[in-house]
Amino acid sequence: MALTDQSTVDPFAPTTLGPVRLRNRVVKAATSEGRSPDGLVTEDLIDFHRRFAKGGVGMTTVAYCCVSPDGASAPGQIVMDDRAVPGLRRFADAIHQEGAAISAQLGHAGVVANKRLIGKTPMAPSRFINPASFDYCREIRQDEIRRVIDQFGEAAQVAVTAGFDAVELHFGHLYLPSSFLSPLINRRKDAYGGTIENRSRFVREIAQRVREVVGDRIAVTAKLNMVDGMRGGIWLAESLRTAQLLDTDRNLDAIELTEGSSVYKPMYLFRGDVPADDFAKVLPQPQSIGVRMFGKAAMGNFPYHDLYMLDDARQFIPVINNTKLILLGGINSRDHMVTGLSEGFDFVALGRALLRQPDLVNRLMDDPTARGLCNHNNKCMVTVFGSTHCVLDPSQAYDAVDGASYRGRSEISSS
């Protein structure tokens, strides 16, 4: 693979993402916020993202906005309908004032939802029992598939109306679109099941519908699973094919490569310390006993190393021709960014490093040798039951996490 000379790579130089000009190549990855209790934008949510914008990122991503009420994976998520527009417009204006762009992650939970939360049985490609929550999911019908595809289009229109710069289609972490790719969860016999080409049909149709709706008014990206991290799930050979198909369709401006899920061994996505005891403290009984006894084994134990998704993600570079690629996972310094960009990635996305230090980009511009302070203890995972924050940053001491806010949650992490 031809590497670009690292001395010529500047992560902080302006660039374009589809029709959008970004001041640099650093994207704040979606980290569920818990700051919209009524499903509407709050000042707290705007302030949370203003810190990343002020802190220098090129684009911030509003986590998990549902395309419909039954697409929710946790209480209080923003549903992308007309009611949300005035708040989203204020939100976009505030982020633009700081010089950053703003994207909305659009999702449908599918197997990650639960009946208590959405008031009906969750939908999956085929009948499925979520091994994390033991929730039963029924098979989605073809007319419902078409409805969800339309809902993605309608949600993207809301983002355009509100002045957003981009939408990120959540095709990862075994949410509904991602679960169609998984041979374990998708055992359909129709045109949406079987070969990887058939299993990719749903995500391709979503991307196509969204592109038809938004045209070139905003950028369209997707967060795509490279590997599900569970036996029987997708692995690289198949996700490479899905990415190629999406690339050939030319409906996406960029693909952010991710892996793992909250359905099975969630630490595959995060790596590093397993915060099982912290989860046990906030979960109601009897889950808390279960997590205390079996949490570490159930969550998985995968050592953290910097750039931990790079080995898998670099396989996509030679097969993708028309779509930009975003590298994610354990990026914590300017050197990490330069390594990824010199290999051929167009952007880098950071989650925890920015939760820990929202102004990390500005710091790295001032001191290229600095290193982010996130220590990957993963205690922020537990804070998703309240308002997501880094527990090591006293200035982010938002409302305490408590068991009450857990009820109705479908999973131990809402990613």
Ligand X SMILES: Cc1cc2nc3c(=O)[nH]c(=O)nc-3n(C[C@H](O)[C@H](O)[C@H](O)COP(=O)(O)O)c2cc1C
Of ligand SF4, ligand X, none, which one sits near residue 245, judging by CB under 5 to 8 A according to partner kind? none
374 touches ligand SF4 by CB under 6 A: yes
> Residue 138 and residue 110: Cα distance in Å, rounded?
10
In the block, tokens 């369209």 appear at 220
Strands 254-259 and 219-227: parallel
Beta-sheet strands, E only, within 194-297: 219-227, 254-259
DSSP notation for 83-105 = GGHHHHHHHHHHHHHTT-EEEEE
392 touches ligand SF4 by CB under 6 A: yes
Contacts of ligand X in 216-275 (CB under 6 A):
223, 258, 269-270
Residue 220: strand pairing partners? 167
Interface pattern 295-334 for ligand SF4 (x via CB under 6 A) = ----------------------------------------
391 touches ligand SF4 by CB under 6 A: yes
Please report, as a single letter, which amino acid is at residue 374.
C
> Residue 410 and residue 131: Cα distance in Å, rounded?
11
Closest CA to 358 of 87, 102, 15, 47: 47
Which member of 45, 299, 381, 391 binds ligand X (CB under 6 A)? 381
Of ligand X, ligand SF4, none, which one sits near residue 206, judging by CB under 5 to 8 A according to partner kind? none
Of ligand X, ligand SF4, none, which one sits near residue 390, judging by CB under 5 to 8 A according to partner kind? ligand SF4
Largest interatomic CA distance in the chain: 56
71 touches ligand X by CB under 6 A: no
In the block, tokens 């029992």 appear at 129
Which member of 95, 328, 337, 412 binds ligand X (CB under 6 A)? 328
How wide is the angle at C-alpha 288 spanned by C-alphas 415 and 381, nearest 5°?
A: 25
Rounded to 5 degrees, what are φ and ψ at 135?
A: -80, 140
415 touches ligand X by CB under 6 A: yes
Of ligand SF4, ligand X, none, which one sits near residue 415, judging by CB under 5 to 8 A according to partner kind? ligand X
Which member of 49, 188, 352, 409 binds ligand SF4 (CB under 6 A)? 352
> Residue 119 and residue 140: Cα distance in Å, rounded?
16
Which member of 46, 80, 117, 390 binds ligand SF4 (CB under 6 A)? 390
Interface pattern 50-69 for ligand X (x via CB under 6 A) = -------------xx-----
**Closest separation in Å from C-beta 289 to ligand X:** 24
Q: Could you tell me which residues come within 8 angstroms of residue 113 by beta carbon, excluding any fewer than 6 positions away?
A: 70, 71, 72, 73, 122, 135, 410
Which member of 42, 157, 315, 375 binds ligand SF4 (CB under 6 A)? 375
Is there a contact between 246 and 321 (Cβ–Cβ < 8 Å)?
Answer: no
Whether residue 192 lies in the annotated active site: no
380 touches ligand SF4 by CB under 6 A: yes
Residue ranges that bind ligand X, judged by CB under 6 A: 29-32, 63-64, 105, 170, 173, 223, 258, 269-270, 328-331, 350-353, 380-381, 384, 388, 414-415
**Active site members:** 175
